[in-house]
Amino acid sequence: MGLFDRFKRKKDPEPAPQGPALSPTADTAAVILLGRDVGWEAVTGAVEDRFGPQALVSVDRSAPNAPAMTVRLEGTEFFCSYLAMPHPPQVYDLSSLQEGLFSPQEREELLAHRAFLVLAQKGGGVSLAEKRRVCLLFTHLAGALVGLDGAVGVFVADAELLISRRLYLQHAAILEKNRDDPEYFPAPLWISIRSGQKGELPMVGTWGLKHFGFLELWFLDAKSPWPELHEKLYLMSIFQITGRELYRNMDTIAFTPGAPSVFKELKGALFIVGGGV
């Protein structure tokens, strides 16, 4: 059994639906954290250097403390504003995030940021295909801005996900190499993996799939090592986001031959139970 076969659910006798059960979130946004005040000219320069001056549609300096720009990539417009201050904890307390894509030292650098960029795309993710397209373009643009000297990482609010500069650039580079591959999606930059408890049982699962129109995926009482569970959850997320699979309540899935797990829907999530995972 191949790697990809292990993540295919047992098919129903009737044709399965080809899209998510819920609607994707039309808006897409993230915050790029800066370790120092890099200056607005460096931000606009990074866009022009990476995508050409034609990508910079407009620049608004009417608010001196919050300059902004509109960037157009492949016909899609993104809004970016700059604030030379720490991200307000009353909006989201970044120090509450203990899990994410960072080392302990990188987490301290992220929390010690001194400025930030708000990057947003409004209304483009009206379908799974369009949401996927917006996120791919968004990642290319964010990668250029995270490459700024002084950037320390990214906070993706929809997934409550904190990512270090090092790991964001690593995944953005992988995306560049797979740009024409319709089966690739940089799930670690859009989906966080969380751990928790359900009664006495440990859980590990996704946070952020709902913004693509899917139920979150959670392993209940899984015994497999943490890296293996991460790999499974990322791959299953990619399979759904790229339209190859759709996991539903009471479907079964076999990660090892002869030991099926079952999906059980509960409170907006699909719990994956049994199968010796």
Whether 201 has a pLDDT exceeding 90, the answer reads no
User: Cβ–Cβ contacts within 10 Å for residue 222, how many?
Assistant: 22
H or E, element range at 45 = helix 40-51
Tell me which amino acid residue 259 is.
A
- pLDDT tier for residue 256 given thresholds of 50, 70 and 90: confident
Tokens of 98: 């203990």
Tokens of 157: 């609010």
Contact 25, 211 (CB under 8 A): yes
Tokens of 184: 């690739």
Cα dihedral 119, 123, 124, 128, rounded to 10, equals: 110
Mean pLDDT in residue range 254-272:
89
Strands 115-121 and 151-156: unpaired
* Tens of pLDDT, residues 87-96: 999 999 999 9
pTM equals: 0.91
CA distance 82 to 221: 44
Phi, psi angles (nearest 5°) of residue 225: -60, 150
Q: Report DSSP letters for 163-207, one per residue.
A: EEHHHHHHHHHHHHHTTT-TT---GGGT-EEEEEEETTEEEEEEE
* Tens of pLDDT, residues 159-168: 999 999 999 9
Mean pLDDT in residue range 115-124:
98
pLDDT of residue 17: 46
